[in-house]
Amino acid sequence: MRDKTRLPFIDKIVLWLNCFFCFALLISYLAPVVDPRKAWLIAFFGLAYPLLVVGCIIFIVYWLFRKPWYASVSLITIALGWGILKNNVAFHSSSNDPLKPKDNGTIRMMTYNVHNFKRYGAKNDTSTKKEILQIINAQQPDIIGFQEFYSRNHGQYDMLDSLVKIMGSAYYYFKPIFFNRTEAIGIAIFSKYPIIRMGTIPISDTKSENACLYIDVKKDNKEFRVYSVHLQSIRFDPEDYKYLSEVSAQGKTDMSSTRRLGSKLKIAFIKRSIQVDKIKKHAAQCPYPYIISGDFNDTPTSYTVNQMSKGLKNAFREKGFGFGRTYNGDFPNYQIDYIMVSPQFDVDNYTVIEKRLSDHYPVRSDLILSDRP
């Protein structure tokens, strides 16, 4: 008589694959706490976290139709990482309104990697620049941090002048990284509140677009600090993006290209862990409440984001909705732009404005600065 408890061959194969995905998912749970400088391979599992979760969900569906009890393998594995899941997915739908008017009692914070005010991979075009400025004008942020900010000294690409007009304020701090006599690219913060001091934190080479600057501002009788960061980029070349597109479209891979991409990711993981240490040490000495915002170039399951968020409120986790995807370029679309605040702030709302202009979406959050220490 045939043993009915034995799994058919195809189910055995699926079970082994299921166990492999669950094991990889468990390793990804280490990514937020293991420094890439000590074990860089684990960071790759953290990067793969969304795909691993989706894979486990597919296995759950499969087993529900075949052997329902086996679905518990993936269910338990996902449940063990519940805290990490909440960093990646949020459900506060009521506040995810890109057209929400600003309340006068809040501080509207925005961060936007504008990719030099042009579409990714394209040359400058005035329509893209105009649409980006229209978004900022419609949102009317009190403070906005820019990464990959571009400006010329005169003409229609004098973005410093354009932003001063939109903000209705001449308070800004622009740190040029690449510049000549007529134009400059760097990182910037614009504020409607008076800037009482400003500075930079050296986190990379002087000629690197990856930088961190801060301003101390005064709103009424309250002072607070705003950091704008652009952490280590992966620095993919056009050939890397071409390879990723081919893999996505045709499923074809080659070891040489894969190793090249892996090496660049490894370097970026390690450099970001060093940069986060520097920023957190600086922030720990800040005498005021503070905001850290910008392009972290890393995902919610990463060591970078986990370390940066320690002791802070992540605006996405507090009031976000969905996956919070902020990157829309050729690399797999993740949440890599963040707004984080010290405990003296309350997060009123959070939204990602899904307007595909730069390779990043702008992120906005309305914050309330309380009187508690």
Residues 6+ apart with CB under 8 A from 111: 144, 145, 146, 147, 228, 293, 294, 295, 337, 338, 339, 362, 363
Are residues 165 and 50 part of one domain?
no
Are residues 353 and 249 part of one domain?
yes
The verdict on residue 4 lying in a domain is: no
Are residues 58 and 156 part of one domain?
no
Tell which of 19, 53, 88 closes a domain: 88
Residues 6+ apart with CB under 8 A from 11: 66, 67
CATH number at residue 252: 3.60.10.10
The verdict on residue 298 lying in a domain is: yes
Are residues 180 and 140 part of one domain?
yes
Question: Where in the chain does DSSP place strands (E)?
Answer: 90-91, 107-113, 143-152, 171-179, 183-191, 195-201, 212-219, 222-230, 290-295, 313-314, 321-322, 337-341, 345-352, 363-369
Give the pLDDT confidence score for residue 290 in this predicted structure.
98
Are residues 223 and 183 part of one domain?
yes
Are residues 194 and 61 part of one domain?
no
pLDDT tens for each residue of 84-133: 999 999 887 655 667 777 777 899 999 999 999 987 666 667 889 999 99
Report which secondary-structure segment, H or E, holds 160: helix 159-167
* Contact between residue 135 and residue 362 where contact means Cβ atoms under 8 Å apart: yes
Tell which of 57, 88, 119 closes a domain: 88
Are residues 64 and 198 part of one domain?
no
- Domain hosting 23: range is 9-88
Cα separation, 170 vs 173, in Å, equals 10
Are residues 339 and 305 part of one domain?
yes
Tell which of 31, 53, 88 closes a domain: 88
The verdict on residue 30 lying in a domain is: yes
The verdict on residue 97 lying in a domain is: no
pLDDT tens for each residue of 249-274: 666 777 777 888 889 999 999 999 99
Residues 6+ apart with CB under 8 A from 107: 142, 143, 219, 366, 367, 368, 369
Residue 371 has pLDDT above 90, yes or no: no
Cα separation, 239 vs 244, in Å, equals 9
The verdict on residue 93 lying in a domain is: no
* Contact between residue 213 and residue 198 where contact means Cβ atoms under 8 Å apart: yes
Tally of structural domains, the chain: 2
Residues comprising the chain, all counted: 373
Are residues 203 and 123 part of one domain?
yes
Are residues 197 and 313 part of one domain?
yes
* Contact between residue 132 and residue 117 where contact means Cβ atoms under 8 Å apart: yes
The verdict on residue 161 lying in a domain is: yes
The residue-averaged pLDDT of 41-53 equals 96
Give the pLDDT confidence score for residue 124 in this predicted structure.
67
Are residues 255 and 321 part of one domain?
yes
Percent of the chain with pLDDT over 90: 74
Q: Is the pTM higher than 0.85? A: yes
The verdict on residue 115 lying in a domain is: yes
